[in-house]
Amino acid sequence: MTIDAPAKLNLSLRILGRRDDGFHELESLMVRLPRLADRLTVEAAGEDEFRCDAEGVPVDATNLVVRARDRYREEAGVADGSVRLSIGLEKRIPHGAGLGGGSSDAAAMLLAMQHFHDDALSREELLELAAGLGSDVPFFLGDPVMRVRGRGEILEAVDGADAPPSRPVLLLKPSFGVSTPDAYRHCLDARELPGVDYRPQEFGWATLVNDLERPVFQKHLFLAEVKEWLRRQPGVEGALMSGSGSTVFAVLDSAERGESLAAEARKALDPTLWSWWGACGACGASEPVS
C-alpha cells in the first residue's frame, strides 16, 4: 500500500507556558498542504527493511517511521514481528523546515500498521501512541484543518464556516534547518528584534501569529529578513514562519503570483532558497492512494 504524508502549516502558534511534564502548553491552528507530501510505500516482506531516497535521512531506529512501526507493535501486542514489512519513503518535504514532514511520515506509518494488523488499536489508543511519538503526529491522524492544544494531543476539528478557505501560499526555506528543541527552550525569554513586526496579522479567516518567531529570529536573523521582505511585496497579504522554522510562508492574493515571487526572492535574498507554491485550507488528508 502507498500513503501520501502531507506537509502542514501553522497559521497560528501561541505558547501559553511550560507544563509540569517539561513540555510547553500550546495552541495552534494547523492546516495541511495536500499537494506537498512525502510518500510511504509499505509491503509485506520476508524481513523488515526501511529505505529512504533522501540523502542524510537516518534509516535506523532514530527515524520516526521506524519508531512508529516498533511502538505500534509493542502497544498492539505484535512485537514478535510476525508481519515483516518492507518500507520505502520518498521525501518531498524538506527536513528541519517546520512543515511536519517527520511527524506526517510517522502518522502514515501508524495508518499502515493499522491496515496490516486489522485495526488492532482503537482510535483513542492510536492517538495516544501518536502523541508519544511527537507533538505534531496526532494532527496528521485527524481532519485537514484543526485547532491543536495541550502539547499537541488535544484536537478540535475546524470545518464549515469556521474553516479557513483555500488560500494560495508561497513557501520559502533556506538551506539550513532549525532545531525545534532549541526554539522551544528559549521561547519564553527571547527578545524581539528591532524593525521586525511580530504582531498578529488579522484576517477574516484566521489570525497569523507565531510565538516561536522570537527565539528563532534571534538566532537566525535571515528568517526575519525573509518575513519582512515578503510582507513588503505586492500581492502578499501576510507572511509568517511555520512552526519552529526554517520555512517562512506568504499568503498571496493570487495563485499566479507564486512562481514570479519565488524567483524574485531568490534574486533578492538567496539564490539557493527552496520554494513551493500551492493551496492550503480545508482540503486534503493522509490516506492510502493505492
Q: Are residues 208 and 173 in the same domain?
A: yes
Q: Are residues 100 and 114 in the same domain?
A: yes
Please report which residue ranges of 13-100 form alpha helices under DSSP H. Answer: 64-76
Q: Is 91 designated active site?
A: no
Question: What CATH number did the domain enclosing 31 receive?
Answer: 3.30.230.10
Q: How far apart are the C-alpha atoms of 213 and 228, rounded to whole Å? A: 12
Q: How far apart are the C-alpha atoms of 249 and 275, rounded to whole Å? A: 9
Question: What CATH number did the domain enclosing 189 receive?
Answer: 3.30.70.890
Q: How confident is the model at residue 281 (pLDDT cuts 50, 70, 90)?
A: low
Q: Which listed residue (4, 8, 105, 173) is catalytic? A: 8
Q: Are residues 75 and 108 in the same domain?
A: yes
Q: Are residues 62 and 86 in the same domain?
A: yes
Q: Are residues 144 and 32 in the same domain?
A: yes
Q: Are residues 245 and 167 in the same domain?
A: yes
Q: Are residues 170 and 72 in the same domain?
A: no
- Count of structural domains, the chain: 2
HSE-up (13 A, CA, CB side) for residue 198: 17
Q: Are residues 30 and 138 in the same domain?
A: yes
The whole-number pLDDT of residue 93 equals: 97
Give yes or no for a contact between 40 and 88, defined as CB atoms under 8 angstroms apart: yes
Give yes or no for a contact between 68 and 87, defined as CB atoms under 8 angstroms apart: no
Q: Is the pLDDT of residue 28 over 70?
A: yes
Q: Which of 106, 134, 158 is the last residue of a domain?
A: 158
45 is written with which cell numbers?
516482506
Tens digits of per-residue pLDDT, 81-91? 689 999 999 99
Q: How confident is the model at residue 286 (pLDDT cuts 50, 70, 90)?
A: very low
178 is written with which cell numbers?
532549525
In a domain, 290, yes or no: no
Tens digits of per-residue pLDDT, 170-212? 999 999 999 888 888 888 888 999 999 999 999 988 899 999 9
Q: How far apart are the C-alpha atoms of 277 and 3, rounded to whole Å? A: 22
In a domain, 76, yes or no: yes
Peptide bond into 166 cis (omega under 30): no
18 is written with which cell numbers?
511550560
In a domain, 275, yes or no: yes
Q: Are residues 6 and 149 in the same domain?
A: yes
Tens digits of per-residue pLDDT, 143-162? 999 999 988 889 998 877 77
Q: How is 90-113 classified by DSSP, letter by letter?
A: E--SPTTSSS-HHHHHHHHHHHHH
Q: Are residues 168 and 152 in the same domain?
A: no
Q: Are residues 91 and 167 in the same domain?
A: no
Give yes or no for a contact between 104 and 5, defined as CB atoms under 8 angstroms apart: yes
Q: Which listed residue (91, 136, 211, 227) is catalytic? A: 136
Q: Are residues 180 and 231 in the same domain?
A: yes
Domain that holds residue 186: 162-280
In a domain, 190, yes or no: yes
Q: How far apart are the C-alpha atoms of 259 and 178, rounded to whole Å? A: 25
Q: Is 8 designated active site?
A: yes
In a domain, 203, yes or no: yes
In a domain, 151, yes or no: yes
